[in-house]
Chains A and B, each alone.
Chain A
Amino acid sequence: MSDEIKDLTNLNRLIHEPSRLAIMAVLSACESADFTYLLSATGLTKGNLSAHLSKLEKAGYIKVVKRFKGKYPNTLCSCTASGRRAFDSYWKQYSALAQHLEK
Chain B
Amino acid sequence: MTSPSDVKRLIRETRRYEFADGLRDIQMAITLGIMGVVTWLVLQPLWINTLHEWVQKYGRGAAWLGLLVIFLAPLAAWGMLALMNVVRKRWLWRESGMVKPTPWIVSRRVTVLSAVILVVCLAFAVLARHQGWVEDAFVLRMLWAATGWSFGYTLIGMGRELGLPRYIWLGLTGGVLSTILIFLQLTFAQAALAFGLSWGLLLSASGIFTLRRAIAAKEAGE
Contacts and interface: CB of A to CB of B under 8 A. Distances in A.
B15 interface: yes
A23 to B, nearest CB: 9
Contacts of A37: 17, 93, 96-99
Interface in B79-133: 93, 95-103
Contact of B7 (A22, A38, A40): A22
A30 B7 contact: no
Contacts of A18: 1-2
Contact of B101 (A31, A34, A39): A31
Contacts, number: 72
A25 B7 CA distance: 6
B4 interface: yes
B10 A29 contact: yes
A30 B15 contact: yes
Contacts of B11: 25-26, 28-29
A80 interface: no
Contact of A36 (B2, B6, B13, B98): B98
B100 A31 contact: yes
B13 to A, nearest CB: 7
Given A22-B1, A29-B11, A41-B14, A36 B95 contact: yes
Contacts of B6: 22
Interface of A: 18-19, 21-22, 25-26, 28-43, 91, 94-95, 98
16 contacts: A18-B2, A21-B7, A22-B10, A25-B10, A26-B14, A29-B15, A30-B15, A30-B17, A33-B97, A37-B96, A39-B97, A40-B95, A40-B97, A41-B10, A41-B14, A94-B4
Which 8 pairs of residues, A with B, have the shortest CB-CB distance? A37-B97, A36-B97, A29-B14, A18-B2, A29-B11, A31-B100, A25-B10, A32-B100
